[in-house]
Amino acid sequence: MAETRLNENIIPSTTVVTAGDSAYAWGALMLVSSMRRNGMRHPVLVWAMDWNEEQKRRICALGGVTVQDIAKTRQCLACQKPRIMGCDAVKTDWVCWVDADGLFVGDCSEWLSSDDVDEMRIKRCNPPPPDFTPETLATWKSDVARFRGSALEESRYPTRVQSGVILLNRKWRPFLAAWDAQINSVLPPDVEILMKKGSAYYQTDESVLASLLCFGVDAPRVSEQYKFDGKVDRSRYYLHFGYNPKPWQMWNTYAMRFREEAYRTAEWLVEKGVVKAGDVPLPLRRGWWPLFRMLAPAAPWVWRVMKLKRRIFR
């Protein structure tokens, strides 16, 4: 375990947690850099699978960061969300899971705190996504009844949630444990990022969470407002590098709208001496934009090849 402290007196009451394999080390580094660069001094806990010492050293250099090595697993690391959010290494009353493939823009500290201990701050999908079908709901309901002992008759919500950012009070640790248990009951142990189209658990951990929020008898309330999307304040939000590959690998046509923010974050890392200019991945260097702009339309194909390679060599 590696750990560093921030030497200021006031420590925010929310711990930011994230997880990733070594392919996400740059993502996590950029995420935490975006926090420190914007004055967000929250303690950070990272669950790292297969990271090398240099990757750990860099993120720890940002201060207030704890990195814990986790055992190798074939299950998508997003399925670790409930476990890291509920783990003993979190010392604050509040915890916020944040996907390692995104950045905070502006100081989002206000969105990372809340007075309502019964509310989970999370994004509602609007409109409901295509996988939110009567068949999905029927499966969720029967699985929740089967594994949790009881389920509501009707779903509490007309849509499901999106779990890239989740703010929750730690009084809900039993709920987090139930989410973890439910993941292990209904998902295969080697589940990847997505299940097959048409599956009731298409979005894996996110679908399982939705099943418990919709049908679980004892569940936190889903917030009306998500806030991290910039709808409350356009200058303070969390941006998500959607789709694959990720910007530290190659720009895709969706994520490239965020490149200015990514360049600035990478430049800040060099300025602060956390990484050397020569260690910044090429897509995160301004000068390489003409090449990566040209390559962006091919990104989905490159991703398919990368996935295939991983499947063969893992």
Tell the residue number behind the tokens 């939110």, with chain if given. 132
* Residue with Cβ nearer Mn ion (99 or 131): 99
Min dist. Cβ of residue 174 to Mn ion (A): 26
* Residue with Cβ nearer Mn ion (28 or 200): 28
* Residue with Cβ nearer Mn ion (192 or 267): 192
DSSP H or E segment with residue 306 = helix 299-313
Q: Which amino acid is at 23?
A: A
Task: Give CA separation, 11 vs 8, 83, 154, 258, in Å.
Answer: 7, 23, 41, 30
In the complex, the residues that contact Mn ion under the rule CB under 5 A are 99, 101
Residue 109 to residue 40: CA distance in whole angstroms = 6
* Residue of this chain nearest to Mn ion (CB atom): 99
Min dist. Cβ of residue 291 to Mn ion (A): 25
Side-chain half-sphere exposure of 43, counting CA atoms within 13 A: 22
Residue 29 to residue 52: CA distance in whole angstroms = 13
Min dist. Cβ of residue 259 to Mn ion (A): 17
Min dist. Cβ of residue 294 to Mn ion (A): 25
* Residue with Cβ nearer Mn ion (27 or 86): 27
On whether the CB atoms of residues 66 and 91 are closer than 8 A, the answer is no
Helix (H, G, I), strand (E, B) or coil at 210: helix
* Residue with Cβ nearer Mn ion (104 or 215): 104
Min dist. Cβ of residue 4 to Mn ion (A): 25
